[in-house]
């Protein structure tokens, strides 16, 4: 059963129903940061999502947070004025309940940050059906379902932004992470297609593409990060990228930025890329 939704540090939040525009993307960063809005963040009970919640809260955004673990979600909310809605997003109609709760709490949504995700590592041939169903469902399907719920409200308001958290694995494909890579590649192409579709509506789509981030992700997937490069970055760095993508209207942000390079090499010289990948893993 989902835990009861609750509020922390948002006095009067549910009274405010007037849509507030996202900060103008042409504004300098300082000015944009002075005009925070409302945001729904998934995956906020851990790692990157929790860091995003802290960052947005520090900038003055009003938040609704989702994750499964009610205790850890409450911990995030203690550091970020927010209402919390702990629920497993794979449960039937969870995205509807979450969106309804968020709209009831903050009146409208300027920003959706879809961060919830799970990993799995190992040879594809050894992966159980249950494991790959979970990876595809959490990383791809629950994300699409939630965007489908939130988007009509943003389009009707004529403003808003969806920030999807992808992965470098979804851009180049990583050995031992075939299904995870496929799930994140699907999220990336979805972001591209949706961005085209929403042109002229006032609603934008950003894809944030982290490489390796120092979070419980690896421990939870049951396989530690074993490479030396790329070096893990702190989740706060990804949170900063999410914030920048949101307020400056960036389509795609790599964290760290140099990770765009292997993606470019793969695009222009796929043979060379495959040789390098075979040599350096």
Ligand X SMILES: NC(=O)c1ccc[n+]([C@@H]2O[C@H](COP(=O)([O-])OP(=O)(O)OC[C@H]3O[C@@H](n4cnc5c(N)ncnc54)[C@H](OP(=O)(O)O)[C@@H]3O)[C@@H](O)[C@H]2O)c1
Catalytic residue numbers read 180
Cβ–Cβ < 8 Å for 243, 52? yes
CA dist., res. 54 & res. 63, Å (int): 10
In this complex, which beta carbon is closest to ligand X, that of residue 89 or of residue 194?
89
DSSP secondary structure letters along 96-131: HHHHHHHHHHHSS-SEEEE-------S-GGG--HHH
Give the interface size with ligand X as a residue count (CB under 6 A). 28
Query: Does the protein bind ligand X through residue 41 (CB under 6 A)?
Result: no
- What is the nearest approach in angstroms of ligand X to the Cβ of residue 89? 4
Strand partners, 62: 38
- What is the nearest approach in angstroms of ligand X to the Cβ of residue 6? 15
| 82-to-47, 209, 238 alpha-carbon distances in Å | 17, 25, 20
- What is the nearest approach in angstroms of ligand X to the Cβ of residue 82? 14
Total count of residues recorded for the chain: 281
- What is the nearest approach in angstroms of ligand X to the Cβ of residue 236? 12
Token pair 């995956």: residue? 43
Cβ–Cβ < 8 Å for 119, 47? no
Query: Does the protein bind ligand X through residue 159 (CB under 6 A)?
Result: no
Query: Does the protein bind ligand X through residue 213 (CB under 6 A)?
Result: yes
The pattern of x and - marking residues 81 through 110 that bind ligand X according to CB under 6 A reads -------xxx--------------------
CA dist., res. 277 & res. 121, Å (int): 18
Query: Does the protein bind ligand X through residue 116 (CB under 6 A)?
Result: yes
Query: Does the protein bind ligand X through residue 215 (CB under 6 A)?
Result: yes
DSSP 132: H
| Contact range with ligand X by CB under 6 A, out of 103-111, 194-202, 213-221, 261-269 | 213-221
Strand arrangement, sheet containing 38-41: 6-8, 82-86, 62-67, 38-41, 111-114, 160-165, 203-210, 252-255
- What is the nearest approach in angstroms of ligand X to the Cβ of residue 252? 14
Query: Does the protein bind ligand X through residue 172 (CB under 6 A)?
Result: no
- What is the nearest approach in angstroms of ligand X to the Cβ of residue 264? 19
In this complex, which beta carbon is closest to ligand X, that of residue 46 or of residue 159?
46
DSSP secondary structure letters along 236-265: HHHHHHHHHHHHHT-SEEEESGGGHHHHHH
Query: Does the protein bind ligand X through residue 210 (CB under 6 A)?
Result: yes
Contact with ligand X (CB under 6 A) among 53, 56, 138, 241: 138
CA dist., res. 193 & res. 191, Å (int): 6
Query: Does the protein bind ligand X through residue 247 (CB under 6 A)?
Result: no
Query: Does the protein bind ligand X through residue 47 (CB under 6 A)?
Result: yes
Query: Does the protein bind ligand X through residue 167 (CB under 6 A)?
Result: yes
Q: Which residues would be at the binding site for ligand X (CB under 6 A)? A: 43, 45-49, 67-69, 72, 88-90, 115-118, 138-139, 165, 167, 210, 212-213, 215-217, 220
């Amino acid at each position: 059963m989902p835990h009861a939704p609750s509020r922390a540090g948002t006095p009067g939040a549910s009274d405010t129903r007037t849509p507030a525009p996202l900060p103008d993307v042409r504004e300098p960063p300082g000015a944009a940061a002075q005009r925070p809005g409302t945001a729904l963040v998934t995956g906020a009970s851990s790692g990157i999502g929790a860091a995003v919640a802290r960052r947005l809260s520090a900038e003055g955004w009003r938040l609704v947070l989702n994750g499964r673990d009610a205790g850890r979600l409450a911990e995030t909310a203690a550091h970020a004025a927010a209402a919390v809605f702990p629920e497993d997003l794979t449960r039937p109609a969870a995205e509807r309940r979450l969106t309804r709760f968020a709209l009831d709490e903050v009146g409208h949504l300027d920003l959706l940050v879809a961060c919830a995700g799970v990993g799995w590592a190992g040879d594809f041939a050894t992966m159980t059906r249950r494991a790959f169903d979970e990876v595809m469902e959490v990383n791809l399907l629950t994300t699409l379902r939630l965007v489908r719920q939130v988007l009509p409200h943003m389009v009707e308001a004529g403003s808003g932004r969806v920030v999807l958290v992808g992965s470098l694995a979804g851009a180049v494909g990583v050995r031992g992470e075939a299904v995870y890579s496929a799930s994140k590649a699907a999220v990336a192409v979805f972001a591209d297609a949706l961005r085209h579709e929403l042109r002229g509506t006032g609603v934008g789509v950003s894809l944030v593409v982290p490489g390796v981030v120092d979070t419980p992700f690896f421990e939870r997937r049951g396989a530690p990060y074993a490479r030396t490069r790329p070096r893990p970055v702190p989740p706060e760095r990804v949170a900063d990228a999410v914030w920048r993508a949101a307020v400056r209207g960036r389509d795609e942000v790599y964290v760290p930025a140099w990770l765009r390079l292997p993606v470019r090499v793969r695009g222009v010289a796929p043979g060379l890329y495959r040789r390098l990948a075979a040599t350096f893993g």
